[in-house]
Amino acid sequence: MVEQLSALEMASTEKRETSMKAITLLYHDVVKGDMESSGIAGAGAALYKLDVDQFKAHLDAIAATITQPIRLVSDLIEASDLPVLLTFDDGGISAYTQIAPLLESHGWRGHFFITTARIGEPTFMNADQIRELASRGHVIGSHSHTHPSLISGLSNDVLLDEWRTSAQILSEIIDQPVTTASVPGGFFSTDVAQTAAKAGIQWLFNSEPTTQISVVAGCRIMGRYNIWRKTPAETAARLARGDMSLRLMQSLSWNAKKVAKRLGGSSYVKMRRLLLNLLRG
């Protein structure tokens, strides 16, 4: 299904669509009650953390609905259906203690994107744990070095340094090149992608809810569907089987936010209210 990139696509620094598609779900931490036990601290980050039982229910619901195995970027070449990928951002300790064993109980592997400046902190994985996940068949990728609050606002030099430093630290840990990454906060720009490509990243996951795979400077850009603490297992399963209405809803909401952010705060609230009414209607 996945074609070779043309010379034009390799050379182009503009974002271009390819004929490739995939459904990728974006998770963060999985905790046992204590929100501060894994990953980034604070109320904002907690909105994305699932409890263990909830995460188990998500995986069971996904397993019951999909007709194909969960894939990794490395096996997209052979994929014939709309492939489903699971990704986990930030590099919190729960990737090692909860998430990977639960994925493996289904025979699945995931993509773990690590904020390398946090490696070894109490609520983040250490180098040994990251190495072990890689040896168990999971994909280890970069989530930048410092997780800047607005990565798309950085100069190209700083951006390149974020990707290069992070990829180098991880490749030394897992003893293989690091070719995947995800964008912190989902703040994507072509500069974010071009600098990632320069640092050797071939697959860059952002937070745009789309199945369309694009390419910038030879780096494939993968959209993702965000999973929140409040996301029911059934919703995750419907996303995984490619439910059009749900995908459309996430896409509408994401685009409305983007427009409203440009217009200013109160417009965002109005737009959100309008959208919710439309969806209810």
- Binding footprint of Zn ion on the chain (CB under 5 A): 89-90, 184
- 219-222 and 212-216 strand pairing: antiparallel
- Report the residue number, 184 or 209, with the smaller CB distance to Zn ion: 184
In the complex, residue closest to Zn ion by CB? 89
Smallest gap from Cβ 246 to Zn ion, in A, equals 23
Give the residue with the Cβ less far from Zn ion, 110 or 184.
Answer: 184
- b/e string for 104-137 if b means 16 or more Cβ within 10 A? eeeebbbbbbbbbbbbeeebbbeeebbbebbeee
- Nearest Cα neighbor of 10 from 217, 220, 221 is 217
20, two tokens:
């490739």
* Position 151, amino acid: I
Measuring CA to CA, how many Å separate 236 from each of 57, 211, 228?
Answer: 10, 15, 10
Question: Closest distance between Zn ion and the C-beta of residue 213, in Å?
Answer: 21
The residue with tokens 């994929």 is 79
Q: Least CB distance from residue 144 to Zn ion, whole Å?
A: 8
Query: Looking at beta carbons only, is 83 or 186 nearer to Zn ion?
Result: 186
* Distance in Å, CB of 19 to Zn ion, minimum: 30
CB 110 within 8 A of CB 79: no
**CB 89, min distance to Zn ion, A:** 4
Of 7 and 43, which CB lies nearer to Zn ion in the complex structure?
43
3-state secondary structure 30-74: EECCCHHHCCCCCHHHHCCCEEHHHHHHHHHHHHHHCCCCCECHH
Closer residue to Zn ion in complex, CB, 29/90: 90
Closest CA to 44 of 52, 53, 31, 35: 35
Q: CB 268 → Zn ion: shortest distance, Å?
A: 21
Kindly tell me which of 9 and 90 has the beta carbon lying closer to Zn ion: 90
